[in-house]
Structure 1
């Protein structure tokens, strides 16, 4: 039962990844592209956690944590660049 649920949710998250990629490529403004990139890495974290549950491995959770930290820093840097024009003051 858990395997079936994990497969269904993985397909849903995969569909969300495809839709986020479309928004990333066709976004009308830079802010929309940054938001799509932020949502893309959050969905990829969800997919990695689902793989960790499916394979019962702790390595996937550590990689999801690493991606979460890098994604937060990159989103903050892109938002600061969008607002001020430079990252380092």
Structure 2
């Protein structure tokens, strides 16, 4: 299924949708491993799952950054907010 993109979507909506798709792909890869755990391709599927988890973390960080109010902040303050948000979600 292809993602449905509307020009009216906000950046936050798009990031949430991308995070959902990454989770779906990760779930499919996990199911493929469960079906044939001894397949040579299962090593690639495990690697894919790890990369998708990294992608989801980056997408969640981007979502948190998008939700930060547009006040001038130092880089240090912005990073602190992102890390605090990730700690709350994780």
Larger relative CO (CA 8 A, sep 6+): 1 or 2?
A: 2
- Where 2:40 maps in the other structure, the secondary structure is helix
The worse-fitting range, judged by mean Cα deviation, of 50-59 and 34-43 is: 50-59
Which runs of structure 2 are paired with 1:67-82 in the superposition (5 Å)?
A: none
State the partner residue of 1:66. Answer: none
Which of 49, 52, 55 is equivalent to 1:43? 52
The worse-fitting range, judged by mean Cα deviation, of 47-56 and 27-36 is: 27-36
2: CA distance between counterparts of 1:28 and 1:45? Answer: 22
- Where 1:41 maps in the other structure, the secondary structure is helix
Which runs of structure 2 are paired with 1:15-30 in the superposition (5 Å)?
A: 15-27=24-36, 29-30=38-39
Q: How many residues align?
A: 60
RMSD of the TM alignment (CA)? 1.8
TM-score under structure 2 normalisation?
0.59
TM-score under structure 1 normalisation?
0.59
Per the TM alignment, residue 28 of structure 1 is displaced from its structure 2 partner at its CA by: 5.7
Per the TM alignment, residue 9 of structure 1 is displaced from its structure 2 partner at its CA by: 0.6
Q: Deviations over 1:61-85 (max 9, x none)?
A: xxxxxxxxxxxxxxxxxxxxxxxxx
Instruction: Please state which structure has a larger fraction of its residues in helix.
Output: 1
1: CA distance between counterparts of 2:62 and 2:21? Answer: 16
